[in-house]
Amino acid sequence: MRYSGWRIIKEALTGHKGWGPVWRDPAPKSEYDYIIVGGGGHGLATAYYLAKQFRQARIAVLEKSYLGSGNVGRNTTIIRSNYLLPGNEPFYEFSLKLWEGLEQDFNYNAMVSQRGIVNLIHTDAARDAATRRGNAMILNGADAVLLDREGVRAMYPWLNFDDARFPIKGGLLQKRGGTVRHDAVAWGYARGADLAGVDLIQNCEVTGMRIENGRILGVETSRGYIGAKKVGVAVAGSSGRVMAHAGMRLPIESHVLQAFVSEGLKPLIDGVITFGAGHFYVSQSDKGGLVFGGDIDGYNSYAQRGNLPVIEDVAEGGMALMPAIGRARLLRAWGGIMDMSMDGSPIIDKTPIEGLYFNGGWCYGGFKATPASGWCFAHLLATDTPHPTATAYRFDRFLKGAMIDEKGQGAQPNLH
Amino acid sequence: MLIPHPLLGPRDAQEFVYLGDAALIDRPDGADIPTMHDYLYLRDNPAGEHRELWYHEQGDRSWLVVTRNTVTHEILKVELARDVARAKGRSK
């Protein structure tokens, strides 16, 4: 069933009796060519592109809970490609280009809104760094505009420009960045994958992996054993737990990141503002809530909830940047579990076990990467070679000294 | 979170800096590169009990080994890292 304006008019005139379930609810078969573990954004995107772009095959997605129940529904919905380093920027720009054509591609309204993202600048040194970053972005085919103080003021006149510690001196604007309705991304990919013949199997937790002579044969699940020629794991947040079934230790720690939404307000922020120096970023949802967040809590956690000191820290950052936020009431706060990697960059790679592939380590930047992550992981699964934009995302980059460390923090995951 | 410091009693976790898995105490000095890589970059990252290093920066500057449940954030045991290292035969 394709969605279209005509379809909506027709259904409106006939009592909406023609809408059916958006995807099937199949029982697992005994064997597949490809099993994708993880029915979140990245897993569903992988299955979608694998079925659509690469080959006709028997593909299943195994999800321990319901589709989109993890980080794809817990993030702050921002898309952007404002990275600096050569290993990252081409990948994220590829992802942003996929976002731009996504809704037409999978025929689903994901509310992709390129409303622009501004990184604020407070010092001359930060302006130099932003200039360099903007140039790196432009060299890789992205867009960047360096704003002076008056340029930022024209967009957001109500910001606190004269904060004693972090006065606003300018900003780096990426106009093509923006926000996307995050749940709809999972639903769109799920529907697209289902239409392409992928079995989406929910409430099916992987509890073990059957590995013989260095080769994966299949996975043990809460719904029985399922054989597979190739298994791709895309379960960021739970990567350590799932890959432990294969006896692997990862260059990853799991950390909790909190996010917040205020009560619905009249239109105030038409883009995304990031105040990195103050550990605060904010946008406004179409329902009017201010969606904002800050840093990770900073200690290993699988709890999907954080502690109060970080809420206070984020609130202080918000008050420093936009004192008006003090009048808004907090509606909800929640936490999601991040795969914090050792250099702040992700991994899309084969593992030492033949037929087992890994996608994870997205830190707190996985949502914007969803389309390219799915595409590149599908490319790797189908061809056994990395996609040209993802060649740097290897396990062995730590052994070889080829880290992609945007912040230059070293092997300290809670600082990335 | 409150961390029950062995010398100072319960202290707010905000006074501490978090480093990571307490296995970092066992640095394999002089080991080959693959062993050093595993020490530096790979983690067990368990869901459940986790022994980890916290530094009391805004307190007595002691390093602690905190045993904490990463699913519930419950703190189960706190030791001075010094005692843990000495029990392993370091710095006699």
When CB atoms are compared, the residue of B12, B14, B42 closest to A249 is B42
B27: chain A residues, CB-CB within 8 Å = none
What are the chain A neighbours of B38 within 8 Å (beta carbons)?
249
- The shortest C-alpha distance from A253 to chain B (Å) reads 5
Per residue in A87-144, pLDDT tens?
999 999 999 999 999 999 999 999 999 999 999 999 999 999 999 999 999 999 999 9
Alpha-carbon Rg for chain A, nearest whole angstrom, is 21
User: What pLDDT, on the 0 to 100 scale, is given for residue A56?
Assistant: 74
| Residue-level pLDDT at B92 | 60
Specify whether the CB–CB gap between A37 and A181 falls below 8 A.
no
Residues paired with A35 in a beta bridge: A60, A231
**B89: closest CA of chain A, how far (Å):** 27
Of B33, B42, B70, the CB nearest to A300: B70
Residue B15 near chain A (CB below 8 Å): no
CATH number of B2-87: 3.30.2270.10
Per-residue confidence (pLDDT) for residue A127, from 0 to 100: 98
Rounded mean pLDDT of chain B? 95
Helix (H) or strand (E) holding A311: helix A308-321
Q: How confident is the model at residue A1, as a pLDDT?
A: 75
Cβ contacts (< 8 Å) between B45 and chain A: which residues?
240, 249-250, 252-254, 300
Asked if A307 and B73 come within 8 Å (Cβ–Cβ), the reply is yes
Query: Taking the alpha carbons of A83, A87, A90, A94 in that order, is the dihedral positive or negative?
Result: negative
State how far residue A172 is from chain B, nearest Cα, in angstroms.
31
How many CA within 13 A on the CB side of residue A371?
A: 27
Residue B70 to residue A303, Cβ atoms within 8 A = yes
- How far apart are the CA of B47 and the nearest CA of chain A, in angstroms? 6
pTM, full prediction: 0.96
Local structure of residue A267 (DSSP, 8 states): S
The tokens of A279 are what? 């550990």
- Using one digit for the tens of pLDDT, what is the confidence trace for A60-72? 999 999 999 999 9
Residues of A with CB under 8 A from a CB of B: 238, 240-241, 249-254, 298-303, 307, 309, 342, 398-399, 411-414
Distance CA(A336)–CA(B70), nearest Å, equals 13
Q: Are the beta carbons of A301 and B73 separated by less than 8 Å?
A: yes
> CA-CA distances (angstroms) from residue A325 to A119, A269, A285, A312, A355?
19, 11, 15, 13, 51
Strand partners, A206: A221
How near does any CA of chain B get to the CA of A308, in Å? 9
Q: Helix (H, G, I), strand (E, B), or coil: what is residue A381?
A: helix
Spell out which residues of chain A touch residue B42, defining contact as CB-CB under 8 Å: 249-251
Q: Is B37 in CB contact (< 8 Å) with chain A?
A: yes
pLDDT given for residue B66 in this prediction: 98
- Is B32 an 8 Å CB contact of chain A? no
Mutate to test the interface with A, among B43, B53, B57 (most CBs of A within 10 A): B43
**Residue A214 distance to chain B (closest CA, Å):** 20
Q: Where are the beta strands (DSSP E) in A126-278?
A: 145-148, 170-174, 178-179, 199-201, 206-212, 215-221, 224-233, 252-264, 272-275
- Tell me which residue of A94, A69, A65, A122 sits closest to A276, measured CA to CA: A122
Nearest chain B alpha carbon to A299: B18
Whether residue A301 and residue B20 make contact (CB cut-off 8 A), yes or no, is: no
Residues of chain A with pLDDT under 50: none
CB contact under 8 A, A303 and B72: yes
Q: Does B76 touch chain A (CB under 8 A)?
A: no
Q: Which of B3, B24, B32, B41 to mutate to test the interface with A (most CBs of A within 10 A)?
A: B41
Residue type, A410: G
Q: How far is A321 from chain B (nearest CA, A)?
A: 23
Of A253, A398, A399, the CB nearest to B45: A253
> Cα dist. A377→A46, A107, A369, A385, B45 in Å?
6, 22, 11, 10, 24
Q: CA geometry: angle at B82 spanning B79 and B85, to 5°?
A: 100
Confidence of residue B33 (pLDDT cuts 50, 70, 90): very high
Tokens of A296: 């990770």
The whole-number pLDDT of residue A21 equals 93
Which amino acid would we find at residue A47? A
Interchain pair B45, A412: CB under 8 A: no
